[in-house]
């Protein structure tokens, strides 16, 4: 019998498991049928077009930022000076890695490093949990543009904080690390300037990234690692 997307959908509907587990099963089926197609046992992957219901991650009552809003926010930041480059780098990290602002505030220059095939960021989360997250090429360029905009003798000091404070409205940076509260206030200012809802917060990026990955069918354990979430 030829297996169709309808058969896969019916099978998933009959499984009485949590939605996150159902998405893992669908990801496994897609991988299995991909192998069958590669071996010419099947012409098409019947699980490829199947979708489960949308998975929503709610951490407290944190509102999720949309892709359109995230793009608008990034586009609204002028990167002609070190402050704009800093702020866009921070927000990009939050969007692309699902990192907590506490982990971002603890980053040092040495935590951005070449792992051989690509650059990575080394995060230390609550409780000392350590994670290495690959850096997208566009984020890598942004981070190096930011570092190269520092005073000539500063940016390559490996123990320096990666994200530092500024002096009022002078557009000049200090040697002091931004705290999680500093980052939170900066993001609120950037959201306001972009005309985005005031209810959004730094955590909104984390919720949006985790939800999007789950809806793409990324295995739950991989999402938990990226987000620094303990598995159940």
CATH number, position 139: 1.10.443.10
For residue 10, the enclosing domain spans: 5-53
- Residues 43, 127, single domain; the answer is no
Residue that wins the pLDDT comparison between 176 and 10:
176
Q: What is the mean pLDDT of residues 83-107?
A: 91
Highest mean pLDDT among 29-38, 61-70, 167-176: 167-176
57 band by pLDDT with thresholds 50, 70 and 90: very low
How far apart are alpha carbons 101 and 104 in whole angstroms?
Answer: 5
- Residue 213 inside a domain? The answer is no
- What pLDDT score does 213 carry? 63
- The helix/strand/coil state of 43 is coil
Residue 223 has pLDDT above 80, yes or no: no
29/107 same-domain check: no
In a domain, 98, yes or no: yes
Instruction: Say whether 189 sits in a helix, a strand or coil.
Output: helix
133-167 residues labelled b (16+ CB within 10 A) or e (exposed): bebeeebbebbeebbebbeeeeeeeeebbbbbebe
Q: Is the pLDDT of residue 182 over 90?
A: yes
Nearest to 171 by CA among 145, 192, 150: 150
Residues 45 and 88 in one domain: no
Report yes or no: 161 and 125 within 8 Å, Cβ to Cβ: no
Give the count of beta carbons closer than 10 Å to the beta carbon of residue 105.
20
196 found inside a domain: no
User: Which band of pLDDT confidence, cut at 50, 70 and 90, is reported for residue 64?
Assistant: confident
Whether 192 and 183 have beta carbons less than 8 Å apart is answered as no
Is 214 within a domain? no
Number of domains in the chain: 2
Please tell me whether the overall predicted TM-score, pTM, comes out greater than 0.85 for this model.
no
């Amino acid at each position: 019998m030829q297996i169709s997307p309808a058969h896969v959908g019916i099978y998933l509907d009959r499984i009485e498991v949590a939605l996150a587990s159902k998405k893992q099963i669908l990801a496994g089926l897609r991988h299995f049928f991909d192998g069958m197609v590669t071996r010419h046992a099947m012409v098409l992957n019947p699980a490829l077009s199947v979708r489960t219901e949308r998975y929503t991650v709610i951490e407290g009552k944190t509102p999720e930022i949309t892709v359109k809003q995230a793009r608008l926010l990034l586009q609204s930041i002028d990167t002609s000076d070190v402050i704009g480059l800093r702020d866009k780098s921070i927000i990009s990290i939050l969007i692309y890695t699902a990192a907590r602002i506490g982990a971002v505030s603890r980053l040092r220059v040495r935590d951005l490093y070449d792992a051989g095939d690509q650059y990575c960021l080394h995060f230390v989360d609550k409780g000392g949990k350590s994670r290495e997250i690959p850096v997208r090429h566009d984020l890598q360029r942004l981070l190096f543009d930011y570092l190269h905009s520092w005073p000539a003798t500063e940016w390559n000091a490996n123990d320096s904080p990666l994200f530092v404070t500024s002096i009022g409205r002078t557009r000049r940076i200090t040697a002091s690390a931004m705290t999680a509260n500093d980052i939170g206030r900066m993001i609120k200012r950037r959201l306001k300037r972009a005309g985005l809802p005031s209810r959004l917060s730094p955590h909104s990026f984390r919720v949006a990234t985790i939800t999007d990955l789950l809806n793409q069918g990324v295995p739950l354990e991989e999402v938990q690692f990226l987000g620094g979430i303990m598995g159940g």
